[in-house]
Structure 1
Amino acid sequence: MTEDAAPAALPPPDDLVTEFVTEARELIAAAAEDLLALDGSSGAGTPDPDVVNRVFRVVHTLKGSAALFDWPAMLALLHAAEDGLAAARVGTLQAGADLVDLSLAALDAVARWTEAIAATGALPAGAAAESARLMARYRARLAPATTAAEPDDALAGPVPGWAAALLADLGERSAGPLTALRYAPRPDCFFSGDDPVGLVRRLPGLVALRLDPAAPWPPLDSLDVFACNLAVTLLTTDPRAEVEAVFRLVPDQVEVAALGPPVPAQAAPEPATGAEAAAIPQSEVSRTLRVEAGRIDALVALADDLAAARTLLGEVVARAGAGANLADCLPALRASDERIGRLSAELHREAVGLRLQPLARVFRRFPRALRDIARQLGKEVTLTLAGEETEIDRDVAEGLFEPLLHLLRNAVDHGIEPPSLREAAGKPAIGRIVVAAESRAERVVVTVSDDGRGLDPAFLRRRAAERGLMAPEALAALDEAGAIDLIFAPGFSTAASVGAVSGRGVGMDAVRAAVARLGGTCTVESRIGAGTTIRLRLPRAQSLVRLLLVEVGPERYGLPMEAVVELARIPRAEIRDLAPGAVTVLRDQTVPVLHLADLLDLPRGPDEPRRAWPEARLAVVRAGRERVAIEVDRFAGRFDGLVRPLPPLAAAPGLAGTTLSGDGRVLLALDPEALVGRDDPRGEGESLP
């Protein structure tokens, strides 16, 4: 039996694990942010000692929290990281890029282990081996001279026969030396005060363990349950001297051997770091929210008001049931209905507000990822974050990380030029990327802008032709905006070859699909030599929407009232057919007229209402910068409902989502901009940041 951790102990209480996971996530994020700041300041001179102290305190706190549990691999790695940062604090180790890289790698490992703990309550397989690799790197950095001057009897020797099988069973190899130990406790060790399990657990670098009977087991009727009949064989990354110190009271019962680093038969996969580690999603098992007490108090107060309003309504209903004049009861019924409606809307807004979280939790994961991508590509890039305080629904925020990470990769790889080319073009050698967010009514707009080379429509047409994405005639007919939109075509890539970052033809189409799943849209604007801006328009939260109910034949739909400018009834003679379609004049302005049935591709019978009725019923809506009149058969009132986005397979152009009407039927809510195909790619006509 080979194990990657110490012998199992009683599992910790779930509430303690939950508290640890919550605290660890916050501490790891804070330490990573400070390490990146330390990396940026190390090249300018002496690193900021306050930053080093903050990182040290975070790692020290993490180590103290991990010590409450039976996770020796995590505890040992955090102890090694603490030693490295302590040396940097006193000046015996330079707090440069090497220590930053190693500390970030250690935090990456602890972050992934934390998510595994959140999901399963235990460290993942291979954690001990990964901890050993990182600890060996810390030891090499902290005491290279001491390592070189070890006495001959501490150097690696041949593998003893009793350790060979255990070493062969070790699935993942350590990059550093190992110490092998065979411990055969005396049968009466318990009466001597020895604790074999306790001694083994004092080895933080334990990577493999085997328990075998020291002698054949006797029959059950003669078995002495107080006699120890175990032989312990283990491998650890702890130095031989430290292992011997742990077992110094039982030297006659142990054999110790120092082993060299094993050579793997097959290279083990390296743990994800940098952008890859940042992209690992958090566990879906632990889905908790931290809520301010004031918000809970507001919800309770609204619930109390709603209960009081319901009581008042019950009194009115009782009066009507007792024979009171209905006309006398009508004002009270209306007042109760209005009050309950207002309180319900406020209660819903407060409840939805509980799910909102600032985008800072997403944005602050990008500096580390961008740093690693830029280093990999040999470029220098600065990242500016704006609007981090903008709040958005938690699920939308969690689904936003992957698309934004794709955009950052593309911006560094395809957008930002190498330093030499930037200087030749009169630009600063260091590229600039801006990720910004802002609220616009019930939407949140997130932009990713770079000051790179921009997109060349002619080049995009040639590349699309080379990949056979469109016919040459169709490519030639595209305007500049249509050519730029080619980057969203599946399989399209501007990379000349497949690289570690991009070039596989998967990226921008995945971004648009992911944003669509979140109920948003993705548009792009670019200028050659000046850069590119990608804009994501996303729902801020699920909220009650006031809809104008309209009917076409037997079907009923909802138009968001915020998009409706006015309702009009005009003589049909005032609608004129002009190329390319029908128009009318409203308030001295020519307005296109489109019939809702045509926009939704609904079948139209011979007795269609627009031919039978002398008047046309028009809902004038805003679509981008223009006003468009949508003709319907009937207006059916107003309705407040919670509009939920359609699932991807059911999504269709022009449909914003669904809601339930008062009678329980499903009502389709329309998106006027998508419906008439006049979405403004620049986001309501505003200039790019």
Structure 2
Amino acid sequence: MDHLLKQFVPEARDLLDKSSEALLTLEKNPADGEAINRLFRSVHTLKGTAGIFEIPSFTKLLHAAEDILNLVREDQLALDPELVDQLLAGIDVLAHWVEWLHEKGELPNDAASVGERCVAVYRQRLKASAPAPAAAAVDEAAETGPGANWLATLPEADQLAAVRLLAELGNDARLLAIAYDPDPQCFYNGEDPLFTVKQMPGVLSVAMEWRQDWQTLCEGDPFSCRVRLRVLADASRDAAGELFRYVSEQVDVREVRLAELLSFSVTPLPADSEAIVAQWREDAADHDWMALANAAEQASDREDSIGSSARLIRTLLEAPNPPIDGVVAIIERLGASPEAEPRPGDSPVRQLSEESLGALVLQVQQAIIATEPGSQEWRNRLAAVVETLGRVVYVEFQRDVRDELEQAFEATLAANAAEPLLTALSQILSPAPAIAAEASVSAAAATVDTPRRDGEKVLKVEQSRVDAIMDLVGELVVAKNALPYLARRAENEFGCRELAREIKHQYGALDRISQAMQGAIMHIRMMPVGTLFQRYPRLVRDLSRKLGKDIELVIEGEDTEADKNVIEALSDPLLHIMRNSLDHGIELPDERGAAGKRRTAQIKLKAFQEGDRVCIEVSDDGRGIDPAHIRRKAVEKGLIDEARAAGLNDRESVQLVFMAGFSTRDEASDLSGRGVGMDVVRTTVEHMGGDIALDSEVGRGTRILLRLPLSMAVTRVMMVEVADMLIGIPMDTVIETVRVPKGSLRRFKQAEMFTLREALVPLVRMRERLALPRHEAERDSEAVLVCRLYGAPIGLVVDDFNVGIEVVLKPMTGLLAGLPGYAGTAVLGNGQVLLVLNLKELL
């Protein structure tokens, strides 16, 4: 995948997400003008960006969607739920295509057919509304729009060339008259209207027309396209459709036959030409075409309108098969009253020579120079202006002024003012055509206020590069941790206490730097959880409509930040929880009304930070979880026996939903009932080093709380010694370390425990749990690491305590990848591999 496509994919995803969000906002509040503008901008921007790739189905679908949105924005089409469904379906198709582009670099094979079906649906909605949008595709364009009156202003040479071609080709010949009105912001979409027009095959004439809102160069925006282009070409509609396929809503194409072109070409004759016209009419009436040709030849040297008409008649008669009807029509129209004829002077079309256009470009560059000096943006603009000026002057005026422009540029930077470069440009412009006088820019224009963009600068970086930096920081942490070992060796083995002290001092400095680097790179990886939350309004809308429920989604704390990997890993667990809440938790409106509740249910999605943890809370005001029903279903499915079910209290019974294979549904549906869901949620959350809590009250609703580390990049562990081995315990589970006298241990049946602040704490001997040899000698006390597991304390009996350390945890791979009880491994400073335990799996 090329670098442009790599940039396009994330931008397209972001724009499609924004479009969905704005569309859902509009469905709730159709009068929200900002939302419709935001939606239209997202679709328009995506259409412009997609235009640089060969993905016509993608662009055509966006065109059709933009047509719909344009009518909605102009209050000509109501945004009803059916239309929202259709637009969301189109967004889904586009999102699917974006993923194909990401994976394969092209659209799927069925893109054309799928896109045509979507476009057909949109076109049907457009036909049902009035007026029809101007953004019809080129091959479907109606014979409306700017029209072809601009043909009356064609230069005579272009007129004669077109007439000659049509006369030679015969009666069925036709040309294309193309009216191209570029979007004023087309340059920002990567479009070049003039370049596009130059690619048109068979171009006979190009005319330029100013927009009605044209301003002086000092007042206008030099980066806004202010012209319309008119093209006459000998080409097919298919060729025009292919060329303008990415800007089809800006183009009007119509076919022009010889008769229509002649009607634009004939102008009234002066009063003193009655004798000449009378002779032409007599020759035509006698069908004496040779005499008419000779008479036209004699008058063709005149510079007035009689000469233009003579040259036109001569051109027609010189054709292999002269179109006699056309000649007769011209003569009959000669001498018509001026009021009945089109007047070229009334048209805003302006014919400019290449030299005049070159001068106008220089004028625009002069306006760019006259912006507020001193900023980096100003200096960057000046550099681009100097390069453009050098090329334009060389191409248009055959003068090489690059050296003097460079000198003026350096003088401008030194003076921090635009005058030196403006003076040099004025000297360059002095021989330019008189057109420059209409919009000249003086040095005083340097005082024009131009908005400065001093906002935050954003640099988009691929995640792989950030991950690579994070890996290097991890290696730096490992290298830093080797220094304390080196200091101990220097002091104990070599007796160099001063050297050991210096190593420790350098370790402290390196530790501060590495921690700062860790913090900086981890901050780069942080993202607001709102990027995750924004996909759930669509889920709630679609499922609530499918289930016949009326549900309001409330989102809070979307600005809370967490590591990108944590947010991405939360996607599936949250999806399961939201689907369960929608399917199981929320009642139907009638059922809620009968229970005295609001018919509209509420699901709240909330995020907040708690210490070094990010918490995600999902709550609803639905029917809640019935503990008795949960116990009965668990027994029916064979997950627990009746004796155990009878011994569970209500809170413990609710937790049975996390058992693998548990479901309250007797039959599976596309939403639930397969027994795969909440157990996967808990496994995923715990694998990330988090925990999950569930509370529910019958008739009041359910609350689920996920607590996860802010980042999974660096893990702090407590090292303990077990059978001459170092074992790592995640610090987020550790409560405290205690040494328990042998006499304080208690035994109940097969379980050991001790009392800690009037609470019984069960004990687990790590040597036995890890199948390691027992102690050979009795000890007076036991080293106990007290941890919290599932909300309750548990004591791990180890040989001794070591130190807490930050490590970069790597998952186990190969044959050990599926080994339960281990979170991963880390490399210590002395090169030793540290096994880090996953207590929830091990115990």
Range of TM-score over shorter length: 0.5 to 0.7
Contact 1:199 1:246 in 2 (8 A): no
Distance in 2, matches of 1:247 and 1:412, equals 61
Is 1:385 matched with 2:555?
yes
Alignment partner, residue 783 of structure 2: 617
Structure 2: 5+ residue runs without aligned partners?
Answer: 133-138, 140-200, 204-232, 259-459
- 1:382 offset after TM fit, Å? 0.8
The Cα RMSD (Å) is 4.2
Is 1:288 matched with 2:455?
no
Alignment partner, residue 201 of structure 1: 242
Distance in 2, matches of 1:77 and 1:248, equals 33
Alignment partner, residue 771 of structure 2: 602
Contact 1:491 1:506 in 2 (8 A): yes
Alignment partner, residue 658 of structure 2: 488
Structure 1: 5+ residue runs without aligned partners?
Answer: 1-12, 149-153, 155-188, 206-237, 250-285, 677-689
Counterparts of residues 452-491 of structure 1 (less than 5 Å): 452-491=622-661
Amino acid at match of 1:140: Q
Render the CA deviation track for 1:105-138: whole Å, top value 9, x for unaligned: 2222222212222222222221111111111111
Are residues 377 and 465 of structure 1, via their aligned partners in 2, closer, same or farther at CA, if it must alter by over 3 Å?
A: same
Q: Which of 821, 824, 832 is 1:665 aligned to?
A: 832
Render the CA deviation track for 1:657-677: whole Å, top value 9, x for unaligned: 43222333332224567766x
Render the CA deviation track for 1:140-173: whole Å, top value 9, x for unaligned: 111138999xxxxx9xxxxxxxxxxxxxxxxxxx
Moved more, 442-451 or 588-597: 588-597
Q: Which of 14, 20, 27 is 1:32 aligned to?
A: 20
**DSSP-derived class of the 1:383 partner:** strand
Is 1:332 matched with 2:514?
no
Q: Which of 631, 635, 641 is 2:797 aligned to?
A: 631
Q: Which of 595, 598, 605 is 1:425 aligned to?
A: 595
Alignment partner, residue 641 of structure 1: 807
Are residues 333 and 291 of structure 1, via their aligned partners in 2, closer, same or farther at CA, if it must alter by over 3 Å?
A: closer
Alignment partner, residue 163 of structure 1: none
Alignment partner, residue 278 of structure 1: none
Identity among equivalent positions (%) equals 36
Counterparts of residues 398-409 of structure 1 (less than 5 Å): 398-409=568-579
Distance in 2, matches of 1:430 and 1:248, equals 64
Contact 1:595 1:632 in 2 (8 A): no
Contact 1:487 1:508 in 2 (8 A): yes
Distance in 2, matches of 1:330 and 1:106, equals 68
Q: Which of 343, 348, 352 is 2:513 aligned to?
A: 343
Distance in 2, matches of 1:497 and 1:654, equals 35
Q: Which of 80, 86, 109 is 2:70 aligned to?
A: 86
Q: Give the TM-score normalised by structure 1.
A: 0.67
**DSSP-derived class of the 1:612 partner:** coil
Render the CA deviation track for 1:258-301: whole Å, top value 9, x for unaligned: xxxxxxxxxxxxxxxxxxxxxxxxxxxx9924999xx99x99xx
Alignment partner, residue 105 of structure 1: 89
Counterparts of residues 564-603 of structure 1 (less than 5 Å): 564-577=734-747, 581-584=751-754, 589-592=758-761, 594-597=763-766, 600-603=769-772
Render the CA deviation track for 1:352-408: whole Å, top value 9, x for unaligned: 332222111110011011100000000011111122122222233223222212211
Is 1:20 matched with 2:46?
no
Distance in 1, matches of 2:709 and 2:581, equals 24
Render the CA deviation track for 1:70-91: whole Å, top value 9, x for unaligned: 2111111111111111111222
Is 1:132 matched with 2:116?
yes
Distance in 2, matches of 1:477 and 1:391, equals 42
Larger radius of gyration: 2
Amino acid at match of 1:60: H
**DSSP-derived class of the 2:29 partner:** helix
Counterparts of residues 36-115 of structure 1 (less than 5 Å): 36-42=24-30, 47-115=31-99
Alignment partner, residue 367 of structure 1: 537
Distance in 2, matches of 1:350 and 1:128, equals 46
Are residues 632 and 344 of structure 1, via their aligned partners in 2, closer, same or farther at CA, if it must alter by over 3 Å?
A: same
Render the CA deviation track for 1:47-85: whole Å, top value 9, x for unaligned: 223322222222222222222222111111111111111
Greater relative contact order (Cα 8 A, min sep 6): structure 1 or 2?
1
- 1:244 offset after TM fit, Å? 10
Counterparts of residues 431-580 of structure 1 (less than 5 Å): 431-561=601-731, 563-577=733-747
Q: Which of 565, 571, 596 is 1:395 aligned to?
A: 565
Contact 1:416 1:452 in 2 (8 A): yes
Alignment partner, residue 401 of structure 2: none
Render the CA deviation track for 1:565-595: whole Å, top value 9, x for unaligned: 5444454233343567444456x64553624
Q: Give the TM-score normalised by structure 2.
A: 0.56
Contact 2:722 2:767 in 1 (8 A): no
Distance in 2, matches of 1:620 and 1:666, equals 24
Contact 1:381 1:432 in 2 (8 A): yes
**DSSP-derived class of the 2:797 partner:** strand
Amino acid at match of 2:68: G
Alignment partner, residue 141 of structure 1: 125
- 1:528 offset after TM fit, Å? 0.9
Distance in 2, matches of 1:82 and 1:346, equals 48
Alignment partner, residue 309 of structure 2: none
Counterparts of residues 226-245 of structure 1 (less than 5 Å): none
Are residues 559 and 468 of structure 1, via their aligned partners in 2, closer, same or farther at CA, if it must alter by over 3 Å?
A: closer
